[in-house]
Structure 1
Amino acid sequence: SRPVQLAYDVAAASGEGATRPPVVFLHGLFGSRANFTSLVDASVSLRPYQMVTVDARNHGDSAHAPTMSYTEQSLDVRALLTVPPLSPAVLVGHSMGGKVAMATALQWPELVAGLVVLDVAPVLTRGFTPFRDFIGAMERVSFAGAQGTRSQARALVDSQLAPRIPDSTIRQFLLTNVTERRAADGGDGARFGWRVNLEAIVRHIDCLFDFPRPAEGASYSGPTLFIGGGDSPYI
C-alpha cells in the first residue's frame, strides 16, 4: 500500500545541533504530536538537535486510511524520513509509536541513527484489556447534542465516558481527540466528532498490540535505549 501524508512540526536546531541527526518523536495510540510539545519546548532553548513531532496515520492532523498495520505505518515514517534532511534520524517512539520505530529500524536501518523505545517491546503487548474498554466507551459516545465551543463538546463527551472510564486522567487524554468537523466529515450532521479514525483502530486493534515478524536476517545494530515505566503493565 502507499504511504499516507503525515502531519509534523519541526523545532530547528542551532549551532552544532544543526549538524546532528534530527530526533523524530512518534506517539502512542490515541495520542498526537502534541503529546511531545512540553518536552520539545523544554529542550528547544538549548537547541541541541532538530526535533520533529509527528502525527501517525488516523491520528491528529495526519491523513486517514482504512488500514494501519505496523508495516504500513513504518512506510509512512520511511516516506517522511526520506525527505531531506530528516535522515538518518533518531527515532523516539512511545507505545504504538515505539513499535513503529522498531519496525522502521528493522526494515531500513540506514535511515535510523538511533532508537529510543518508551514503554513497549517488540512482542505481543500484554495487559492491554483496558484499551478495549476505552474503545467501547468511545464508540458509544453520541455527539448529536454537542453544540457551542469545543470545551462544551468535550464536557458533554466526558459525561458520557465517565461511567465506563472512571479515571479522569485517561478521560482527559481521550478527550484531546474531540474535534470540530468539517462540513464534508461524516453523514450524521453532528458538529463535533472524534479526530482519530476510530473505525480503523477498531479493525486493527489486535495487530496494533502485536508486532510483525521481522524478515529473515533483519536486524538493527545502531544505538538503542529501552525505557519502561516502573508501574506500567505494558512492557
Structure 2
Amino acid sequence: MSLATTTVGAGEPDVAFAHGLFGQGKNWTQIAKALTPGHTSLLVDMPDHGRSPWTERVDYPGYADLVAETLAPHAPLDLVGHSMGGKIAMQVALRRPELVRRLVVVDIAPADYRGLSAFGDYVAAMRAIDLATLPGREAADEALRDGVPDPVVRGFLLQNLRRASAPENWRWQMNLGLLGDQLDRLGEWPATDATFDGPVLWVAGAESDYVRPEHREAMRALFPRVRSVRVKGAGHWVHSEQPDAFVRTLRAFLDA
C-alpha cells in the first residue's frame, strides 16, 4: 500500500512529517516552507486520511509499518509527528530505527488517551450531516457549529469535505466510518520493549494538557535521549498556533 505524499523543497527529502487525526500532510506546508532552502520535506498523508488508501483496522503498529514503507526509499530521515502522527512516528522509530535519524514528537505522549479528547463529539457532528442533501460548505459549517464550537477546528475538519457523485453530493475524504468506530484504538498506546537511541525532541504546548509530568518516565524509558520543550501561548496544535516559535525550535534541533 503506497501512501500519498507531497514534497516541499528541492532535492531528496531529509525530513518527513506525520499529521494528526483528521488532518492531511498539507497541514504541515507552512512549516515545511519555513525550513527551506536548508531542508526538503516529505508531507505524508497517514493511512485512512487525505489521499492515502483506507485500511480495515485502526492499528498503530500497522499504520507505522505503512509509513515506514513510504519513508524507506528516502531514509534515513528526520521524522516529525503531531498527536496521532506523533504516536505513529514514535512507533516507526521503535520498529524501524534505521529509518529515523532524529525524532520530533509534538504534543503527545506514549500514553492512553481514551475518552480524554473532544474527537468523539467531532465524529458525531460530522456523521449527523446529511451529505446527500448538503447544499455546500457554508451549510456544513453551520451544521457542525453545535458539536464543534471552535471555528478554527471546524475549518480544520471541513478540509476533508469533498464533492462527490450521486447519490451523495459530498463525501468525507478521510475514512470517517472506520476512524469513528475505532476512535478508542486511536487513544491507545501499544506496549513495547523496544527503545530508540537517537536524538528525540518532545515539543508540548504550554496550554495543552496532552503532555503531563506523569508521562515523562514512560517517554524516557522508550527514548533515552529525549529532551523536552514547552511552547508558550500554544495549545495542542502547537505548530499552527505558534508557527514562528515552533520553526525556531525545530530548526535548532534539526541543524544541531
Secondary structure class of the residue paired with 2:118 = helix
What percent of counterpart residues are identical? 36
Counterpart of 1:121 (choices 95, 101, 109) is 109
Show the counterpart of 2:203.
227
For residue 49 of structure 1, report the CA deviation from its aligned partner: 1.8
CA contact (8 A) 2:6 2:26 kept: no
Secondary structure class of the residue paired with 2:182 = helix
1:7 aligns with 2:4: yes
Q: Distance in 2 between matches of 1:129 and 1:93?
A: 18
Amino acid at match of 1:109: P
1:194 aligns with 2:182: no
Q: Distance in 2 between matches of 1:13 and 1:22?
A: 10
Q: Which runs of 5+ in 1 are unaligned?
A: 148-152
Partner deviation per Cα, 1:85-136 (whole Å, 9 max, x = no partner)? x101111000000000000111111111010000000111267331111111
1:106 aligns with 2:94: yes
Q: Distance in 2 between matches of 1:5 and 1:204?
A: 22
Greater relative contact order structure (CA < 8 Å, 6+ sep): 1
For residue 68 of structure 1, report the CA deviation from its aligned partner: 2.5
Partner deviation per Cα, 1:24-53 (whole Å, 9 max, x = no partner)? 000000100111111122222xx2122100
Amino acid at match of 1:80: T
State the TM-score, normalized to the length of structure 2: 0.78
CA contact (8 A) 2:114 2:188 kept: no
Counterpart of 1:42 (choices 25, 31, 34) is 34
Counterpart of 1:70 (choices 60, 68, 71) is 60
For residue 58 of structure 1, report the CA deviation from its aligned partner: 0.9
Specify whether residues 82 and 170 from structure 1 end up closer, same or farther in structure 2 by C-alpha distance, changes over 3 A only: same
Q: Distance in 1 between matches of 2:126 and 2:39?
A: 37
Q: Which runs of 5+ in 2 are unaligned?
A: 212-256
Partner deviation per Cα, 1:34-90 (whole Å, 9 max, x = no partner)? 11111122222xx2122100101111111112212101110111111222xx10111
State the TM-score, normalized to the length of structure 1: 0.85
